[in-house]
């Protein structure tokens, strides 16, 4: 974990942790990105992914270059993709069963989906916020829709960072206090790591990042 980014970035704690994990992804071929805009996408991915071509889908974006695929309706979109990226989208869907089926349909065989969802995180609309998914639920939901090689990783450190992330919006205007408190939060969660039998971030995740392959 990059503690420097936690201390000095203007992004939310969740977004910082998501960026850190997404920088490890290596993409090639076509990539369909849901809920993104071009600037956000470039910020998430790095030079690890050079030989890929992104296509963007956001039903709320009026950009003519974006394709419009409503995941909550059965899709007949003809093109298939080598990769799909969907982060901070699933929580805004009232039911993810059909969306996951559509995502599987849009992938080429043996191609991969990458995604992320919040867990201990404030309610945020875009336009609505319906769900928080546990690791176990995500695994079962992906498996039911014929995804294999499912990998899900917790984002966070423990209960102190999870609580701090909820208060960040009130503390960010006091930068010195913010940074001092965050240092203490990191120390407390690290201390818990050695005291607890279970890694505290597994019990108190700020969010999850996941990947899976179309069967």
Confidence of residue 18 (pLDDT cuts 50, 70, 90): very high
What local confidence, expressed as pLDDT, does residue 83 receive?
94
47 pLDDT above the threshold of 70: no
111: its two tokens = 């191609």
Q: Domain extents for the chain?
A: 3-157+206-214
pLDDT by residue (tens digit) across 186-212? 999 999 999 998 999 999 999 999 999
What local confidence, expressed as pLDDT, does residue 14 receive?
95
Decide: helix, strand or coil at residue 197.
coil
Contact between 192 and 148 (Cβ < 8 Å): no
The pLDDT > 70 percentage for the chain reads 91
Distance from C-alpha of 142 to C-alpha of 2, rounded to nearest angstrom: 30
125 pLDDT above the threshold of 60: yes
What local confidence, expressed as pLDDT, does residue 28 receive?
86
The mean-pLDDT minimum among 25-29, 58-62, 126-130 falls in 58-62
The CATH number of 3-157+206-214, from 3.40.50.2000, 3.40.50.150, 3.30.499.10, 3.40.50.300, is: 3.40.50.150
Three-state SS sequence of 11-64: CCHHHHHHHHHHCCCCCCEEEEEECCCHHHHHHHCCCCCCCEEEEEECCCCCCC
């Amino acid at each position: 974990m990059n503690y420097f980014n936690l201390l000095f970035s203007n992004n939310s704690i969740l977004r910082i942790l998501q960026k850190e994990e997404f920088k490890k992804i290596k993409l090639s071929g076509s990539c369909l990105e849901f809920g993104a805009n071009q600037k956000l996408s470039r910020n998430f991915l790095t030079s690890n992914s050079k030989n890929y071509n992104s296509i963007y889908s956001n039903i709320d974006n009026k950009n003519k270059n974006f394709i419009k695929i409503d995941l909550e309706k059965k899709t007949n979109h003809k093109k298939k993709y080598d990769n799909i990226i969907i982060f901070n989208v699933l929580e805004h869907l009232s039911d993810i069963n059909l969306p996951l089926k559509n995502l599987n349909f849009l992938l080429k065989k043996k191609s991969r989906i990458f995604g992320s969802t919040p867990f201990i995180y404030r309610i945020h609309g875009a336009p609505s916020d319906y769900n928080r998914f546990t690791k176990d639920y995500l695994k079962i939901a992906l498996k039911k829709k014929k995804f294999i090689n499912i990998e899900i990783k917790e984002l966070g450190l423990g209960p102190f960072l999870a609580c701090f992330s909820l208060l960040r919006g009130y503390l960010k205007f006091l930068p010195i206090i913010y940074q001092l408190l965050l240092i203490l939060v990191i120390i407390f969660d690290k201390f818990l790591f050695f005291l607890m039998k279970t890694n505290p971030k597994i019990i108190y995740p700020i969010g999850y990042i996941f990947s899976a392959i179309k069967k």
